[in-house]
Amino acid sequence: LENLIIHVVEDVLSDPRAQKLERELVAALDLMSQKLDRNRRRPWAWDTRRERWIPQTSSTKLTDLEKICLPELKYFIDGYKTTHQSFERKAARQAERHPPYRVKVAVIDNGVVLVGNNAKSSICAQIRDGQSFVLKGAEVQPWWHAIGPHGTQMTSLICAIDPCCEIFIARVGDSDNSGVTPRRLARAIRWAIKKQVDVISISIALTLSHPKLDTAVSDAVNSGIAVICSTTDNLSSGERTYPAQMLGTISVAACDKYGRMLNWSKEEKKSYRINGKDVLAGTVPYVASEERITGNSVATAIAAGLGSLILSCCRLVERKEDPKNLIENYFKGMTLDPKLQYIEPKALFSKQGLEQGYQEPKEQFDVWTRIVEKFGGDTGWKN
């Protein structure tokens, strides 16, 4: 060895920690050099460098996801975001005004990557808190430093659809969500309940349950939280999957853009179908990832984002129903064929879609008319 360069990657360290680590490295290498120089004929050189890790691929912006993931809602989301932010600015200037409500969404997955360039993205701006339930030995693995892209991509989809929601991250798995147990999932749901979230997105399907998981899901549902769960991607499995099969959850299965179930997708209970095929989710820095992904988990994240957007809009026009019932009512209205259960985002602006499946269609229709008028944009409402 003639030349040694040690790179201190600042993305995964705080500034004080990076400085301390660099000092320790310099001291250790200096001591090592002195010992080696006495026993070597040729000198060797070493250096330490603090720098940021620049990913080889550029990460897709959330605004791009919004345009391509749900192009039918692009103009509506733009108007919604602008109006929501305008209300917040007015509330900040006038003490007697209350800021608009931000829907709280818990994402239970394998954590997120919040380092480097990605830390400055919109996903970071929307995250309010996080908790890891994954242990390696006696050490808790950080929720903000995932070793796989799944949780980051699911969160990105939700944030793209509702750019004004608040995100709460619960890490329960590793890179491919391996090691997730019913008890660990139950603890994450309990944590989400304590955070008073409105929506829980679970892009995980287990083949075993546990009384603690049953109780946690039941408590979440009974408190009015919309618990949106993925069905299994394993068509050959005849086993039930949890928590999608549990009473009160909103289960989601992936289909193509025509509402046809994917070959490996399994529809359980009364699952809503959402297009989860070849969806743009963006690459994630530092971990192997694909721009476009497919699966029930993708459809589940889109459902959670749609649910958050619907709930936020309804709160802005002072609808006070609990999140679960309100979101399910609108989902029913967005399934133009009740037998198919295929949610079409464009149906959000369809009178036929809104009136279908509601107990009080005129009230629902009038409310959404007010929402569309408020957020405007080229929504296709008049079509």
Sign of the dihedral defined by the CA atoms of residues 77, 79, 85, 91, in that order: negative
The number of beta carbons lying within 10 Å of the beta carbon of residue 291 is 14
- Collapsing DSSP to helix, strand or coil, 47 comes out as strand
User: What is the DSSP secondary-structure string of 106-136?
Assistant: EEEES--B-SGGGGGSHHHHHEEEEEE--EE
Pairwise CA distance, residues 1 & 157, whole Å:
47
CA–CA–CA angle 228, 233, 236 (5° rounding)? 135
Pairwise CA distance, residues 353 & 364, whole Å:
11
- Collapsing DSSP to helix, strand or coil, 214 comes out as helix
According to DSSP, the residues that pair with 5 across neighbouring strands are 47
Pairwise CA distance, residues 28 & 23, whole Å:
9
Pairwise CA distance, residues 195 & 312, whole Å:
17
The number of beta carbons lying within 10 Å of the beta carbon of residue 147 is 13
337 is catalytic: no
Per the residue annotation, which of 201, 297, 308, 312 is the catalytic one? 297
According to DSSP, the residues that pair with 227 across neighbouring strands are 200
297 is catalytic: yes
Pairwise CA distance, residues 361 & 354, whole Å:
7
33 is catalytic: no
Q: Which of 280, 381, 298, 342 is nearest to 109 (CA)?
A: 298
Direct distance between the N- and C-terminal alpha carbons of the chain, in angstroms, rounded to an integer: 72
Query: Helix 296-316 and helix 323-333: axis angle, to 10°?
Result: 110
Per the residue annotation, which of 150, 174, 271, 308 is the catalytic one? 150
What the block records as the tokens of 225 is 């939280």
Pairwise CA distance, residues 338 & 161, whole Å:
24
The number of beta carbons lying within 10 Å of the beta carbon of residue 106 is 30
Per the residue annotation, which of 11, 78, 84, 109 is the catalytic one? 109
Positions marked active-site: 109, 150, 297
